[in-house]
């Protein structure tokens, strides 16, 4: 039975399932690997990219200069991190989505750039093949692929509209999740939210709007959402909050179905609050058929522990169970104004749903309480306990029957979670979670 049929079967039995929102079990995690890619790691743009993309971060000024272009290198100083921008090159950072390729390498996705559509027009969109060396603690960037739209598959105006290769930037799309299907890649976006198919060389092949069960899902950054020319006109409608699009996207083991999931609960305009099911804020999990390139009508829901939380990544481990990162919006230790509290990897059962289609949370591991009895950590352990106190933790996948990989999105050059006054690195960790992965 395919996962899609299994999900439908699960929904038909929903009335018999009463434990979907029962308290999930806590499991231990033991650190077995730790590798770090330094925050200040940069990629050189392709030779055929516009010369302006040789420098990035020109639109990231804040305060009185917000929105103004700053051309002078290192003219914008950030007291929080001690770093200056604009930079020469493109930061290799902000990993938001990971997939194990089975040979010790992983595909990771750089997200929109500097955190917003308005400040990321010179941030190139790209994904990478990386190889962590657990013995040395280094991470090798094997290959970088830049996204481009020479065939004009993107149906709206982009920053590099009138160039030959039409390289995409963080002002065009906010790429947050990735899956490899055959020789192609499917990428989930937050601005639309859109689902994008790209070739191995980064060429966009198709962009799909999100229409499910007759409902069109749009954020304020969707190209079809246009502000009125007059303040007395009604504001345009949207049902996905800004930066709450397709943060996670799983792939069925047979490679036939994608499961895009929103980062935050959609907005219920009538109720004036996020959508709720079974008394909890929930995130829709949609289906997308790879062969027909179409969204299905089946929707199930992931329940958040708190409506203010977000998910970070989403990957299947078999035909019905999946890993989901759930996190609060905080970062840092006791020194921080708002220290990190809830940073977890949940194991969910997508067949075990309640009457509202809400999936069961089987168990979780606490990323703020990872055991490190052998001193594997290269930083961040105290008294045998390792923490992962980053605001955005957006990468998780299973490596084998007993281990998973987790990585942060370091939001370079802004996030400070590991150490006060220092920009976060890209950290990759391997966790032994044998009992967690066996849980049903």
SS3 readout for the chain? CCHHHHHHHHHHCHHHCCCCCCCCEEECCEEEEEEEECCCCEECCCCCCCHHHHEECCCCCCHHHCCCCCCCCCCEEECCCCEEECEECEECCCEEEEEECCCCCEEEEECCCCCCCCCCCCCECEEEEEEEECCCCEEEEEEEEECECCCCCCCCCCCCCCCCCCECECCCCCEEEEEEECCEEEEEECCCCEEEEECCCCEEEEEEEEEECCEEECCCCCCCCCCCCCCCCCCCCCCCCCCCCEEEEEECCCCCEEEEEECCCCEECCCCEECEECCEEEEEECCEECCCCEECCCCEEEECCCCCCEEEEEEECCCCEEEEEEECCCCCCCCCCCCCCCEEEEEEEEEEECCCCEEEEEEEEECCCEECCCCCCCCCEECCEECCCCCEEEEEEECCCCEEEEEEECCCCCCCCCCCCCCCCEEEEEEECHHHHHCC
- Would you state the pLDDT for residue 269? 84
Average pLDDT of adjacent 10-residue blocks, the chain of 440 residues: 49 46 92 97 98 97 93 95 96 95 97 94 98 98 98 98 98 98 98 98 98 95 93 90 96 98 91 92 97 96 96 98 98 96 98 97 98 93 94 98 98 96 97 98
Per-residue pLDDT tens over the stretch 177-187: 999 999 999 99
- Would you state the pLDDT for residue 12? 45
Per-residue pLDDT tens over the stretch 338-380: 999 999 999 999 999 999 999 999 999 999 999 999 999 998 7
- Would you state the pLDDT for residue 235? 86
Question: What is the pTM assigned to this prediction?
Answer: 0.94
């Amino acid at each position: 039975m395919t996962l899609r049929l299994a999900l439908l079967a699960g929904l038909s039995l929903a009335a018999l399932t009463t434990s979907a929102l029962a308290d999930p079990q806590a499991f231990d995690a033991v650190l077995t690997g730790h590798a770090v890619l330094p925050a200040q790691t940069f990629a050189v743009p392709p030779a055929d990219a516009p010369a302006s993309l040789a420098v990035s971060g020109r639109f990231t000024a804040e305060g009185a200069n917000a929105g103004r272009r700053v051309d002078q290198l290192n003219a914008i100083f950030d007291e929080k991190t001690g770093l200056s921008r604009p930079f020469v090159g493109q930061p290799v950072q902000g990993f938001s989505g990971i997939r194990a390729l089975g040979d010790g390498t992983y595909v990771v996705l750089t997200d929109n750039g500097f955190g917003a559509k308005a400040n990321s027009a010179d941030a190139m969109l790209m994904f990478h093949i990386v190889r962590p060396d657990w013995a040395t603690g280094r991470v090798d960037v094997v290959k970088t692929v830049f996204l481009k739209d020479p065939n004009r598959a993107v149906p709206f105006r982009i920053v590099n509209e009138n160039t030959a290769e039409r390289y995409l930037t963080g002002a065009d799309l906010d790429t947050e999740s990735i899956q490899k299907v055959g020789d192609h890649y499917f990428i989930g976006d937050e601005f639309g939210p859109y689902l994008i198919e790209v070739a191995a060389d980064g060429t966009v092949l198709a962009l799909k709007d999100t229409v499910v069960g007759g409902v069109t899902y749009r954020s304020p950054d969707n190209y079809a959402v246009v502000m009125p020319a007059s303040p007395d006109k009604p504001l345009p409608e949207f049902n996905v909050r800004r930066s709450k699009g397709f943060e996670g996207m799983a792939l069925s083991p047979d490679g036939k179905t994608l499961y895009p999931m929103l980062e935050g609960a959609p907005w219920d305009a009538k109720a004036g609050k996020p959508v709720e099911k079974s008394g909890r804020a929930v995130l829709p999990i949609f289906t997308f058929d790879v062969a027909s390139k179409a969204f299905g009508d089946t929707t199930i829901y992931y329940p958040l522990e708190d409506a203010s939380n977000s998910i970070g990544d989403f990957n299947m481990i078999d035909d019905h169970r999946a890993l989901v990162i759930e996190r609060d919006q905080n970062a840092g230790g006791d020194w921080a104004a708002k220290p990190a509290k809830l940073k977890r990897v949940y194991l969910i059962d997508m067949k075990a749903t309640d009457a509202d289609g809400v999936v069961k949370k089987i168990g979780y591991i606490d990323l703020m309480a990872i055991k490190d009895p052998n001193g594997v950590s290269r930083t961040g352990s105290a008294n045998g306990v390792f923490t992962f106190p980053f605001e955005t933790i957006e990468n998780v996948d299973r490596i084998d029957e007993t281990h998973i990989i987790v990585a942060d999105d370091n939001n370079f050059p802004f996030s400070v979670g590991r150490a006060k006054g220092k920009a976060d690195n890209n950290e990759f960790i391997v966790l032994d979670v044998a009992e967690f992965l066996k849980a049903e």
